[in-house]
Amino acid sequence: MNFREKKVIVTGGTRGIGYAISTAFAQRGAQVAMVFRTDRNKAEQTLLEIREINPEYEHLIFQADLSDPGATALTFDRCVSALGGVDIVVNNAGIGINHSVDSVCYEDWQDIWQKTLACNLLGPANLCFCASKHMIAEGGGRIVNIASRGAYRGEPEKPAYGASKAGLISLGQSLAVSLAPYKIFVGTVAPGFVETDLSADLMASEKGAGVRAQSPLGRIALPEEVAHAVLFLASEGAEFSTGTVIDVNGASYLR
């Protein structure tokens, strides 16, 4: 897949799955703007690596809290201005907070739901809105959202996370229908467990073997495998797959 001269925004694009996505686009010729929330040192390190991978372009990082609607619109405008446009937007940023119904008080329950929906669903929805308006004016584009296996299987320890990812899938399908006449194509990737720093402690614990055993492959996904699915949905020739959800869970959950 060739993304030469394509301009890409990746939220949560400097670590974990987002890092793999940003790297994959850069390796294939794209110019990448990565949005991060807090870890500037990691973001700057990633930026240096991306620039080494593809020195042809001035790749960029932007710090923003995309759960803030005003920050989302401002950051999108800054990215578009710096890139000179945008062809592909990847909504990867998200949070997952444990809050099983039998372990938290009512106030914490409300707080975690609000934070999770603001980051995982409303933030991507707002960025999709901004991107759609720009892409309509420019004659088309691609949007890829990163959801989760938990949207289908359920997340008993993180119900707000599961619900937000289910909402993100529905959002992508709705936009795929409404934006197709404008040549804007929308897809979703739904990973299971992925080998990142966020899953490292779990996989190193006594529960790790059980998690690996959920897949007949006996392991969890590599970030690069999630990125591969994103590249497909964002590529030329995948237009008729608009509205698709690609599961990247190693047959650990089939629907």
Which residues are part of the catalytic machinery? 161
Best CA proximity match to 225, nearest among 178, 177, 190: 190
Q: Which amino acid is at 69?
A: P
Three-class SS of residue 199? coil
Q: Is 69 buried (19+), middle (13-18) or exposed (0-12) by CB count in 10 A?
A: middle
Asked if 123 and 93 touch (Cβ cutoff 8 Å), the reply is: yes
Q: How far apart are CA 152 and CA 254, in angstroms?
A: 9
Q: How far apart are CA 214 and CA 216, in angstroms?
A: 7
Task: Give residue for tokens 């997340």.
Answer: 155
Q: Is 101 buried (19+), middle (13-18) or exposed (0-12) by CB count in 10 A?
A: exposed
Q: How far apart are CA 70 and CA 254, in angstroms?
A: 38
Count of C-beta atoms within a 10 Å radius of residue 56:
13
Asked if 205 and 177 touch (Cβ cutoff 8 Å), the reply is: no
